[in-house]
A and B are shown apart, each in its own frame.
Chain A
Amino acid sequence: MADALQILILGLALGGVFALMGSGLSLVFGVMRIVNLAHPALIIGGAYVAYWGFKLWGIDPLVMLPVAALILAITGIVLYKLVFEREARSAKYSEMTVLLTFATAMIVEGAIGTAFTNTQRVTSPDYATDAIFIGDIFIPTGQLYAGIVSLAIIGALALFLKYSRFGYAIRATTQNRDAAELLGVNVNLVGMVSFAIGIALAGAAGALVSFVFSFFPAKHWEWIAVLMSLVVLGGMGSILGTVVAAFFLSVIAAFVGAWIGSTWSTMTFFLALFIVLLVRPQGFFGEKPELS
């Protein structure tokens, strides 16, 4: 029983990090209808920002987090202006953007790999390897901090979307682009800003990832399907759904890993993605099919 509780806690801790990794992806899809396959590669970009901050100047990755978010937000705006804005009129928009983000993922990976080689890295502040013990149960502090920060960021995002004027505009554009435009929302600006926010979230997630996982430029391929499974299960575009799915699947994966074998724990995400896409393409939290 204590075992199961331990596994549950480890699963939840991981879920917190995955939640932030997935929510940017979800936001970008919701507003722009872009399936951003480059999102995990951009997370790695954020991880490198935190890594170098720590390595060169000894700055804590949690302090580097806003820096990573800012740098990635700027990257996001550049990407949007350079690549995605002109695709808005393309007839095969959704297909084209998937292929373009795929190419972007390769560009980001190749650029990082060329600059910093393919060596495994990890940021190692003291808390990353520490743990808190409650009786027999231990909670790794690194994952705990990452989970708390991640939920705090998602909470702030949710409040922003719910109550700010720009949040109204983002939600309106997500739900009905034409109607939003009709009522005076500048949908192009909303598209660019939400794209930038989504990529900034990738940067923030990267800073957390930098001390939770070891990483290298090509690592993002492993995450694409993992993150996609969260977003698809959560109902494409629903951030709350993505968060719930992140906790749900991480816990299942933790149990699969502990009871069946660690290699099968990632398989949980892939199989979930495959099954959800085919059984219920709109996800379990989305209300209507978004992808077609």
Chain B
Amino acid sequence: MSLTTLDGTSDVLDARKTYNAALAKRADRTRATWFPLLLLALLLAFPAMQFLGNYNYAIHLILFTASYVVMASGWNILGGFAGYISLGHNVFFAIGGYFAGMIFARLGISTIILAPFAGLLCAVVGYGIGQITLKVRGPSFIISSLALVMIVRILFDHWEFVGGSGGLALPANDLPVRWAKLPYYYAFVVMAAFAVWASYKIKHSKFGLGLRALSKDEIKAESAGIDTRRYKTLAFAISAFFVGMAGAVWGEYLTYIRPNIFLIILVSVNMVLICILGGKGTVAGPVVGAILIVTFNEFFVATLGASEINILATGLVMASVLIFFPLGIVGTLAKSGRLPRILNWD
């Protein structure tokens, strides 16, 4: 039986269509696509400042922020969209870093070229791990992610081929100091832009819709015909991809790979914290969060120095955000309808 045989149904359908179109149009009008593009253009042009003076510190800060945007946007796909909180995503940061770093050390191929391959490797590993750990959810999943870090840390600490707990030094590039940071700067800015764009695309795809459905209620999502197992494993792989890419270039930028850089808890906490602070499950959240966390970190390191105070402050910020803004900045503003247009990237 076709719908048109019912009296009046087509009118209702038309009205519904017009209404939906109006809604979409309004969403388009409130979404400021130009802002992220402008931001990207500014960032790409920023290194020209090096002709005027020494802006290496600013370049380092932007690069650092961009690297966290890559990681947090990646984490957000699993933690924000699918609702699986991982405290162990630095494992992929390490795998990406070690894979690209080792090839760079042996064959001299730049990690910037290797980054996508490191990402792919992490995606494959992530897919495998996800097959196992995504069987449990909630607190069990969080604990399993912590156990994963512990296991991987012990393995890397004792794997002599990659330097054990001492790690390996990587050769620095031979560019003059003024330009030395720029390859990594561009690599991270481009990766960050790609990660944000990919989050947007995923969020608005059928896949992204499925992830959000399963994050609300996995059983209902499954009964609605979503292959939840495949969806969440894929989300795990994609998030590992981004974190791995960031790790790949990070090693060469620092000129060494070492377990106590890649596998410390603070790295994975920062990914989680950035997303929660900015707004879990939003596209702009990881960017807002990364800017705040990096600024905040610099402030504490610069004024107080000690790493223990840094840990104390990070913990306090995390607890206060969880208690007072569980939806994060972007999420809270969006809910109350006060999100500035320039931050509406969803």
Contacts and interface: CB of A to CB of B under 8 A. Distances in A.
A111 B313 CA distance: 9
B315 interface: yes
B32 interface: no
Interface in A156-200: none
A10 to B, nearest CB: 21
A292 B137 contact: yes
Contacts of B42: none
Given A100-B323, A277-B136, A109 B311 contact: yes
Contact of B308 (A37, A217, A281): A217
A273 B140 CA distance: 10
Contact of A103 (B138, B150, B319): B319
B261 interface: no
Contacts of B136: 277-278, 281, 291-292
A138 B147 CA distance: 33
A277 B308 CA distance: 32
B137 A99 contact: no
A42 B311 CA distance: 15
A95 B142 contact: yes
B272 interface: yes
> B interface, by DSSP: helix, strand, loop or mixed?
helix
B312 A110 contact: yes
B24 to A, nearest CB: 29
B312 A103 contact: no
A83 B315 CA distance: 13
Given A99-B272, A278-B136, A106 B318 contact: yes
A94 B138 contact: yes
A221 interface: yes
B58 interface: no
B323 A83 contact: yes
A113 B307 CA distance: 9
Contacts of B276: 99
A277 B269 contact: no
A104 B315 contact: yes
B254 to A, nearest CB: 21
B224 interface: no
Nearest to A109: B311
A106 B322 contact: no
A35 B314 CA distance: 20
A65 to B, nearest CB: 26
Nearest to B276: A99
Contacts of A99: 85, 272, 276, 318, 322
B209 interface: no
A225 B146 CA distance: 7
Contact size range, A = 35 or more
Nearest to A86: B323
Interface in B121-138: 132-133, 135-138
B52 interface: no
B139 A107 contact: no
B180 interface: no
B213 interface: no
Interface in A231-254: 232
A153 interface: no
Contacts of A270: 147, 150-151, 154
A267 B139 CA distance: 21
A5 B19 CA distance: 78
B310 interface: yes
A94 B309 CA distance: 28
Given A106-B318, A107-B319, A291 B138 contact: yes
Nearest to B312: A110
B144 interface: yes
A277 B146 contact: no
B147 A274 contact: yes
Interface string A248-292: 000000000000000110110011011001100100000000011
A270 B151 CA distance: 6
Q: Which of B140, B265, B312, B323 has the most CB of A within 10 A?
A: B140
A224 B148 CA distance: 12
A102 interface: yes
B166 interface: no
Interface of A: 35, 37, 83, 86-87, 90, 94-96, 98-100, 102-111, 113-114, 117-118, 217, 221-222, 224-225, 228-229, 232, 263-264, 266-267, 270-271, 273-274, 277-278, 281, 291-292
Given A114-B309, A228-B147, A277-B147, 16 more contacts: A83-B319, A83-B323, A94-B138, A99-B322, A100-B323, A102-B269, A103-B319, A106-B269, A108-B315, A113-B312, A266-B150, A270-B154, A274-B147, A278-B144, A291-B136, A291-B140
21 contacts: A83-B319, A100-B322, A102-B87, A102-B269, A102-B318, A106-B315, A110-B313, A110-B315, A114-B308, A114-B309, A217-B308, A222-B150, A225-B146, A228-B147, A270-B154, A277-B144, A278-B132, A278-B133, A278-B135, A291-B136, A292-B136
3 closest Cβ pairs, A-B complex: A110-B312, A106-B315, A113-B308
